[in-house]
Structure 1
Amino acid sequence: MKNNEKTIEEDKVAEAKAKLQEKEDRVKTEDVTKTKGLTFESFDLPNDLQLAIYEMGYDKPSPIQEEAIPLILEGKNVIGKAKTGTGKTGAYAIPTISMIDKDDPNVQVLIIVPTRELAIQTASTMKKFSKYLDLEIMGALGGTSIRKDILRLENQIHIIVATPGRILDLAEKEVVDLSTVQTVILDEVDKLLSTHFMPVTRKIFNFLSKDIQVLLFSATFPKESTQVFQKEYVPDPQYINMIAQDEVTLKGVTQYYAYIEEKEKLHCLNTLFSKLQINQCIIFCHSYKRVELLAKKISQLGYSCFYIHSRMAQDDRNKVFHDFKNGDSRCLVSSDLFTRGIDIPSVNVVINFDFPQYSTTYLHRIGRSGRFGHLGLAINFITDKDKVNMFQIEKDLNTEIQAIPQDIDLNLYTI
C-alpha cells in the first residue's frame, strides 16, 4: 500500500511540473536562468514539498537556490549574497522545511526579518511551501497583540518568522523557548546588523544554542559588522556570492531619470501615468508626510491609490499590504518601509518621487520591480540637489541611469 501511495505522490508531482512547463511565462533574465541545470528532484526533497514548489510556479532552482539548498541540507552555516528578487527566500525556505520533524512539538526554525510586512510575507511563503506537510508556522511581529502570540505558543509551533523586537520580548518573558531552535535565518542581514538592530540581534542569539545552524542572506552586506558578527556567531561559514562586481542591479530593470524642478514632479508623474502601461507601481517618498500628501494628490487626479508608512497602525498597514498585493489598487505610495524583500510580481514600475541618498536604499527600492527574472522599469525624479547622489549611486552600483526618452519601449517593462 505504501508503494502505491508513493507512486500516487510522484504522479502528482510529475503532473504539477508538466502543467508548469506548458504554461507560457514572461521573459526571464540571466539573473534566474543562468543555472547549472539542476532540478528540485536533484536535492531529494519530499514529494509533498516538491508538489507545493511546482504549484507555486517554480519550474527549476534559481542560481542562489542551486548553491544554497545542498549546503543547508548538509547542515552547513551559510552566508549567501544574491540580488534582490532572485529567490533568496526559497533558497533557505525549501531546505529548512524539508528538515523539519513534524512530530517534534518544539520550535525548530527561527527566521528573523527587519520589517513587519516582510515577516507577514515570509510567513505566508513558508506556509505555501509547506502546504502538504502539516507544519505549524507562526508570524510574530511588533504592533500586534502579544497576548495572541502567547496563546498561540501554548500549542505546537515548528517555524517562527519574527521581527527582532517581538521575538526578543517573547524570549525574555519566557513565553518561547529558543534553545530548541536548530536553524536560525537572518534575512536582509545588512539591516539586522545595522547600528539600530545589532544590539537586539545579539540578545536574541543569547537565547539560542551554541551549535545552531546559522544562515545569513541579503543582497548587500556591511563588511565590518558582518565580519565581527560572523566571527562570534557563524563558525566556518560557506560563502555564496551570486553578485558579480559589475552587475549589482537586476538585469531586467531599465533605469531612467527625469531631470526636473521640485514643483514639476506631480505634473511629470501625471504624464507618466497617462503614457506608461502600468500593471502596478510603487512610488517612494522620503517622509510619511510626503507619502500621505502625494497619495492625496494622486487620488485627486482620479487614480486609485493606496499609501503605507511606519507611523500607520499595524492593522491598517496589514490591510494596505494585503489589498495592494491582491491588486485592489494600481498605485502604492510608500516610505522606505516597503523596500525590503517585498515580493509583488505584478509591480512592473517603480518611481523614486524623492531620490534616495544611499545606494543600498536605491538598490532595494528598484528591486521591487523586475523580480525573479522578469522585466521592470525604474524612473527617478532628479532635481539639482539630487545630481551628486545619482552620480555616486551609479558609481557605487556600477550601473547607468539613462535620461528618460520621449517614448519608452513597452518591451522593456511589460509582459
Structure 2
Amino acid sequence: MAQTVQIHQAAPASDDWRSKLKLPPKDTRFKTEDVTATEGKEFEDFFLKRELLMGIYEKGFEKPSPIQEQSIPRALEGRDILARAKNGTGKTAAFSIPMLERVDTARNEIQAMVLVPTRELALQTSQVCKELGKHLGVEVMVTTGGTSLRDDILRLHQTVHIVVATPGRILDLASKGVAKLNTCKVLVLDEADKLLSQEFQPIVEQLIGFLAPERQIMLYSATFPVTVKQFKERFLKKAHIINLMADLTLKGITQYYAFVSEKDKVHCLNTLFSKLQINQSVIFCNSVNRVELLAKKITDLGYSCYYIHAKMMQSHRNRVFHDFRTGNCRNLVCSDLFTRGIDIMAVNVVINFDFPKLSETYLHRVGRSGRFGHLGLAVNLITYEDRFNLYRIEQELGTEIKPIPPTIEKSLYCM
C-alpha cells in the first residue's frame, strides 16, 4: 500500500500569529550573541504543524536560537544528533519541537523518550513539552525515582506518547513490561555527559535494548567527555555533529571573585546582598551540611532563603523548587544537584559560596544565571586554598574571572 505523506502548511509570520493569539508584546530586552547570532530563520521555515507553532509562540519564543536553527531541521529528518551548546541557549526546545512534530497522536503508544539525570530537570522538561504541544493533543508523562510506582503503572495504562524520565525508574517500568518501549523511535539524552557517567551509562545502554530497532538518538549537553565519544561510535549512525561551544562561558555573564578567609564568607555574603540588585540568586555550597548551615545563617540575617539538596525527601524538594520557580523566595542555597539544566529566567546572580574544583562544575553553576541570552552575574568567594583551582579553571575555560570592584554596575546584570 502506498504511504501517504501529509504536508503541513506553514503558518503566517509570527507577528500575525501574535495578534491573532493575543500574545504578550515581543521581548525586547537585551540578549547576547549566544541566542541572537542566528542565520535569520523563522520557526515557520521548518514547516511545522500549525498547532505546534501556536504553542511555540504562546510560550514566548520569537525566533529560533542558533542551537534550534541547527538542530530542528536535522532532527525532523530523523538524523542522529550530537549537539554541544551552552547552558541557557534553548537546548530543551531544540529537541522538544521536532519530537512533538513527529508524534502521531492517532497511535496510542510511546513514541519518544527523553532521559534526564535529575527529578527536577524531568519535571521542567515535561512542562516545556506540555506547553509547546498543548494544541497538539500529545500526552506527556513524567516518571522519576522517589515517586509512587503504582501511580506510574496506572498512568501507563492510559495514553502516553512521550515519556520524560530518569533512567532508573523507566528501566524498572520497562523491565516489568509496563512501559512498552518497542514502539519508541526517538531517544533524547539531555545533559548527556552526566547520563553517560559511570552512574547512569549501564542503565542507558540497557534501555536502548528495549527501543525500536530503527531509532533516532539525540545527545545534548554543554560538555562532552570521552565517554560521549565512545557512546556515539557504538550507538549513533552517521551522527550530525553540532558544536556551538567556541567560547565555553556565556557571553552575558560577568564573573568576579572576592578573596576572603573562610570565617569572613558569611559577612561577605551579607555585604553582597545589601549592595547587589538581586532578582533571584542561587548560592552554591560543596556539601549537603554546608547547604543547610548557610541557609540558616542567611535566614538569621533577615533574608528570604530556601535550600535544596539530594538528601531531602522528594516531596520537599518538589515544593522548594516550585516555590522558588514561582518567585516566592529570592535566594536558594543548594548543592550541585541544582546545576543541571534548571531554567529560571529571574535568576540574575549566582554566588559560589564554596568554589568548585572542576571547570565543568563551574560552567554549569554560573549558567544558572544569564538564561537564554539575558544578563547575569557570577560572584566567587575565593579562599587561599582555592587560588590554584581559580587559575586552572580560568585556563581550561579560556575566561577571565576579575577581582570584584567596590561597586558593580547594575547594567551588567539587570535589565
Report the residue type matching 2:55 in the other structure.
A
Write out aligned runs for 1:199-278 (5 A).
199-222=202-225, 224-244=226-246, 247-278=247-278
SS of the residue 2:270 aligns to: helix
Q: Tell me the residue number matched to 1:157.
A: 160
* Alpha-carbon offset, residue 21 of structure 1: 8.5
| Mapped partners of 1:22, 1:11: distance in 2 | 15
CA contact (8 A) 2:286 2:354 kept: yes
Segments of 5+ residues of structure 1 without an aligned counterpart are 1-5
> How much has 1:51 moved relative to structure 2?
1.2
Counterpart position of 2:3: none
Report the secondary structure of 1:179's partner residue. Answer: coil
Q: Return the letter of the residue paired with 1:400.
A: E
How do residues 56-71 of structure 1 correspond to structure 2 at under 5 angstroms?
Answer: 56-71=59-74
Task: Describe the superposition over 1:331-370 as per-residue Cα deviations: whole angstroms up to 9, x where unpaired.
Answer: 0000000000000000000000000000110000000000
Question: What is the CA–CA distance in structure 1 between the aligned matches of 2:229 and 2:336, rounded to whole Å?
Answer: 26
**Which amino acid in the other structure matches residue 17 of structure 2?**
E
C-alpha contact (below 8 Å) 1:13/1:47 kept by paired residues: no
Give the match for residue 195 of structure 2. 192
RMSD of aligned residue pairs (Cα, Å): 1.6
Residues 64-122 of structure 1, C-alpha deviations (whole Å, 9 max, x = no match): 00000000001111101101100000100011101110011000010000011000000
Name the structure 2 match of 1:323. Answer: 323
**1:209: Cα distance to partner?**
2.3
Measure how far apart 1:23 and its partner are: 3.1
Shift of 1:302: 0.6
The one-letter amino acid of 1:313's match is M
Residue aligning to 1:363: 363
Is the Cα contact below 8 Å between 1:12 and 1:51 reproduced in 2? no
Match of 2:4 in 1: none
Match of 1:129 among 111, 128, 132: 132
How far apart are the structure 1 equivalents of 2:243 and 2:387? 31
Tell me, which stretches of 5 or more residues in structure 2 are unaligned?
Answer: 1-7
Letter in 2 for 1:39: E
Counterpart of 1:178 in structure 2 is 181
Distance 1:16 1:126 in 2: 20
Counterpart selection for 2:99 from 69, 72, 96? 96
Q: Summarize deviations over 1:197-234 as a string: whole Å, max 9, x none.
A: 11111111111123200000000001x21122112111
Structure 1 equivalent of residue 377 of structure 2: 377
The aligned counterpart of 1:391 is 391
Deviations along 1:296-329, one digit per CA (max 9) or x if unpaired, are: 0000001110100000000000000001000000
Aligned to 2:280: 280
Give the corresponding residue for 1:140.
143
Change (3 A) 1:12 1:282: closer
Q: TM-score, normalised by structure 1?
A: 0.95
Q: Give the Cα–Cα distance (whole angstroms) in 1 for the partners of residues 160 and 27 of structure 2.
A: 38
Could you tell me how far apart the structure 2 residues matched to 1:284 and 1:290 are? Answer: 9
State the 1:24 CA deviation.
Answer: 4.5
2: CA distance, partners of 1:353 / 1:377 = 14
What is the alpha-carbon distance in structure 1 between the residues aligned to residue 250 and residue 85 of structure 2? 10
SS at match of 1:333: strand
Amino acid at match of 2:103: I
SS at match of 1:298: helix
C-alpha distance in structure 2 between counterparts of 1:355 and 1:20, whole Å: 42
TM-score (norm 2): 0.95
Q: After superposition, give the CA deviation of every residue in 1:268-319 in whole Å (9 maximum; x if it has no partner).
A: 0000000000000000001111101100000000111010000000000000
CA contact (8 A) 1:100 1:158 kept: yes
Number of equivalences: 406
CA distance in 2 between counterparts of 1:10 and 1:153 reads: 37
Structure 2 letter corresponding to 1:348 = N
Q: Please say which of residues 15-24 and 227-236 is displaced more in the overlay.
A: 15-24
Q: Which amino acid is 1:410 matched to? A: K
Letter in 1 for 2:228: T
> Cα offset for 1:13?
7.6
**2 CA distance for matches of 1:240 and 1:92?**
13
In the TM superposition, what is the alpha-carbon distance from 1:56 to its structure 2 partner? 1.0
In 2, distance between residues paired with 1:345 and 1:17? 24
Distance 2:331 2:149 in 1: 32
Q: Could you tell me which residue of structure 1 aligns to residue 5 of structure 2?
A: none
Tell me if the contact between 2:340 and 2:364 (Cα under 8 Å) persists in the aligned partners: yes
1:36 is aligned, of 36, 39, 62, to 39
How many Å apart are 1:25 and its aligned residue?
2.7
- Determine helix, strand or coil for the equivalent of 1:161: strand
Instruction: Give the match's secondary structure for 2:114.
Output: strand
Does the 8 Å CA contact 2:12/2:44 hold for their aligned counterparts?
A: no
Aligned to 2:18: 16
Report if aligned partners of 2:113, 2:163 keep a CA contact under 8 Å in 1.
yes
Q: Aligned to 1:291, what secondary structure does the other structure show?
A: helix
CA distance in 1, matches of 2:181, 2:231: 19
Answer yes or no: is the 8 Å Cα contact 1:182–1:213 preserved in 2: yes
